[in-house]
A and B are shown apart, each in its own frame.
Chain A
Amino acid sequence: MTTTEPLLRARGLVKHFAVRTGWLGRGQSVVRAVDGVDFDVQAGRTFALVGESGCGKSTVARLVTRLIEPTAGSVELGKDNLLTADAAHLRRLRGRIQLVFQDPYGSLNPRMSAGDMLAEPLRLHQVVPAAQRESRVAELLAQVGLRAEMATRFPHEFSGGQRQRLAIARALAAEPRIIVLDEPVSALDVSIQAQILNLLADLQKRLGLGYVFISHDLAVVRHIATEVGVMYLGRMVEVGPARQVLGAPRHPYSRALLAAVPQPVPGLDLKDRERRQLGGDVPSPLAPPPGCTVHTRCPHADEQCRTQVPQLQDAGDGVRVACWHWARLEQQASVESVITVHPALSRLQRAFREGASSAAPASLQATPSAPNPASHHPS
């Protein structure tokens, strides 16, 4: 982690949902969707939350943008506390943290044109004088690789990838320092997904944005994240630099998660993978297991794991792990050794990359009103 002041600091985030259970909903119990999560987001860096359905990662996205009120915890944006801010202050702070959702079909108002959609945050947050709104809308469209004349179009006239570009442009309109991206590429085809990931990387480099990136796709996260937190049943089980957490995972759950990802390499020995595989399903968050929540599926679990809850502890290289036994587990071979690419194939793929970047709109190079990221650049 860098020593610069983080853009966002989340501490002790907790969200419990009350649910009705039993016959005619007469019983009541609590789902601990998020149960004590801490993390920082630095300028120009990407903190990714990974985990399976129901682990609480999307709830975290809604908590740090205060779309839902947390049960406990704090979210600081620089010197401001987002969770105690009154309505007027909250509205100002929301200009600094924006959200992009998974479903580009459901997250855009079908009755608003692209231009109106982008002008609205400009007006609300008084980003530019009224006279300049139109030209700023054109700039925003260009920034995400859409043409200026598309401002008159409505959402149904865009493809899925274009809609996601539009959602990103709308998030950028308020000139935020942080964008929370909740599964932003999961609904897209791979070729379109690659376009959006490249766009996000370009924007981050140019504007010095901090990203909170929520995803279940570990390869995508490995590509875009600088820091990663692995969540399971509302808690972080491992957190640290992406290269460490995804390259040399320490927690048995992180290892199993990585081992489960099918590799695009035919003829791999799948025996080894099946050995590391997790059995069973994620337990119900209504009745999380006592002790370490992973113990019902973990091959290394013993009596201590079944009774005592492990806390995140320092595990070297900037990684923190919540596991009683991580230090005793054998080192896991990293996936890096497996993949070799035919030289002719990598030359051809380079042509796709270069063709793609030369085809990018020239306007990508210049964004006059972008904040200067130089002072916040990661070391």
Chain B
Amino acid sequence: MRDATPAPLLEVDGLRVGFATHAGLARAVDGVSFSVSRGETLCVVGESGCGKSVTALSIMGLVARPPARIDGQIRFEGQDLLTLNARSLADLRGNRLAMIFQEPMTSLNPAFTVGAQLSEVLIRHRGLSREAAREAVIGMLERVRIPAPAQRFDEYPHRMSGGMRQRIMIAMSLLCEPALLIADEPTTALDVTIQAQVLGLMRQLRSEFGTAIVLITHDLGVVAEMADRVVVMYAGQVVEQAPVKALFAMPQHPYTVGLMGAIPSLSGGEDRLSAIEGLVPAATDMPEGCRFASRCPFSEARCRTQVPALQEVEPGHWSRCWRAPLQALAAQIDTVAAS
């Protein structure tokens, strides 16, 4: 996919985000690089504190500096977002670049009608009149399948259910047909039947508008359903990156292996889950060597002393592990078990 479009839509390059804390500098994001092509869906997977949300907020320019220290580059349509002034960034946000959040309950302003909040986007970015904006907004509400959109336009957010609010957030983010939509755990707060509706809607709108999506999630089921490519993050770093099918067929980082074994399957099966023992290291106190070494059943001496680089194990499949490719490792385990 990368070969087809020479210049990717979004390029994050060596992104570092640090926060000063009492315990020292906490590097929430530590050298993250990835790119997103036009129309592509990239899923970012990882557990709490891995830096996935801070990465997303940095792209949107929503991390305040100071207190945060941000290094690296975020190139979007040829501009470095980190060097843009507030005014130019505001021109991009909600226009070429949009974001939806996990909490549909708190991301709408309770004091304004839904219609007023959505119209504002078109008035600010497209210079539409109030009447023209109203028409466009009602059209968009219809497309995200809000029943009776003309009536809902004049209602306040508290009148809507969680699923409806998230659809309204999606409608708001798509009003200006953005080139890139960042969705940070958009369905985590929703019930599973509502999640299915929202994910279906995102798939449909992606094919209609050709919007590229960066979808942040911890749910591997959502990843399998939505992603073209996947970035797996652990302790502020990218540990694996691959096309979705390659990742699920044979992950190349032990953390991903553990994560896949830790989710119970709907078809039952294994008696015990393969829990990843231990905890994520603190952002202020990262270990030497590989950050996953202390929880990894395959770690050896060099893992605890030398930092592994992100390497291409197979075409398009990158892993930050000394022991990759893992097929060879699996074969070794067998011979050890047999002897």
CB-defined contacts of A338 to chain B, threshold 8 Å:
267
- Kindly state whether residue B254 has any CB partner on chain A within 8 Å: yes
A19 within 8 A of B: no
> How far is B264's CA from A263's CA once the two chains are assembled, in angstroms?
11
Residues from chain A with Cβ under 8 Å of B222 in the complex: 262
Taken residue by residue from 341 to 374, chain A's Cβ proximity to chain B (1 for < 8 Å, 0 otherwise) reads as 0111101111111111101000000000000000
Do B267 and A335 touch (CB < 8 A)? yes
Q: In the bound complex, do residue B263 and residue A270 qualify as a contact, i.e. CB atoms below 8 Å apart?
A: no
A127 close to chain B: CB less than 8 A: no
The dominant DSSP class at the A interface is helix
Interface readout for A262-296 with B: 1 if CB under 8 Å, 0 if not? 11111110100110011101100000000000000
Q: Shortest beta-carbon distance, A374 to chain B, in Å?
A: 20
Total of A-B residue pairs, C-beta within 8 Å: 192
B73 to chain A minimum Cβ distance, whole angstroms, is 30
- Contact of B197 with A264 in the complex, beta carbons under 8 Å: no
Q: Report the minimal beta-carbon distance from B158 to chain A, rounded to whole angstroms.
A: 14
Q: Which residues of A are found within 8 Å of B331, using beta-carbon distances?
A: 344
A323 contacts chain B at the CB level, 8 A cutoff: no
Of A161, A194, A274, A338, most B-chain CB atoms within 10 Å: A194
Chain A's nearest CB lies how many Å from the CB of B204?
10
CB pair B249–A352 under 8 Å, yes or no, is: no
User: What residues on A are CB-neighbors of B275 within 8 Å?
Assistant: 191, 194-195, 198, 352-353, 356
- CB nearest neighbor in A for B164: A281
Interface residues on B, range: 35 or more
B200/A274 in contact, CB under 8 A: yes
* Cβ contacts under 8 Å, B132 to chain A: none
Tell me whether B193 and A260 are in contact (CB under 8 A).
yes
The residues of A that contact B271 with a CB separation of less than 8 Å are: 201
Within 8 A of A (CB), among B100-154: none
CA gap between A110 and B216 in the complex, in Å = 32
Asked whether any CB of chain B lies closer than 8 Å to the CB of A6, the reply is: no
Segment at the B interface, from A8-16, A58-66, A215-223: A215-223
Interface size on A, residues (CB 8 A): 66
How many angstroms between the C-alpha atoms of A262 and B197 in the bound complex?
11
Can you name the residue of chain A whose Cβ is closest to the Cβ of B189? A53
A317 within 8 Å of B (CB atoms): no
Is A121 in contact with chain B by the CB < 8 A criterion? no
Asked if A131 lies at the interface with its beta carbon under 8 angstroms from chain B, I say: no
With A189-B218, A348-B326 in contact, is A194–B274 under 8 Å at CB?
Answer: yes
The answer, yes or no, to whether A1 is at the interface (CB within 8 Å) is no
Q: Is the CB of A336 within 8 A of B199?
A: no
Contact A334 B267 (CB under 8 A): yes
A residues near B250, Cβ cutoff 8 Å: 342, 344-345
Residues of B within 8 A of A (CB): 47-48, 161, 163-164, 191-197, 199-200, 203, 218-225, 227, 244-245, 248-251, 254, 257-268, 270-277, 279, 297-298, 326-327, 329-331, 333-334
The 9 closest A-B pairs by CB, nearest first: A262-B221, A223-B264, A355-B297, A352-B274, A349-B261, A344-B330, A194-B262, A191-B276, A260-B196
Q: Give residues in A with beta carbon < 8 Å to B.
A: 52-53, 159, 161, 189-195, 197-198, 201, 216, 218-220, 222-224, 243, 246-247, 256-268, 270, 273-274, 277-279, 281-282, 334-336, 338-339, 342-345, 347-357, 359
Selected A-B contacts with CB under 8 Å, 30 pairs? A189-B47, A191-B275, A192-B47, A194-B262, A194-B273, A194-B275, A195-B277, A197-B264, A198-B272, A216-B191, A219-B266, A223-B264, A258-B266, A261-B192, A261-B221, A261-B266, A264-B248, A266-B227, A268-B225, A270-B200, A277-B193, A277-B200, A281-B163, A334-B267, A344-B326, A348-B333, A352-B254, A353-B273, A356-B275, A357-B272
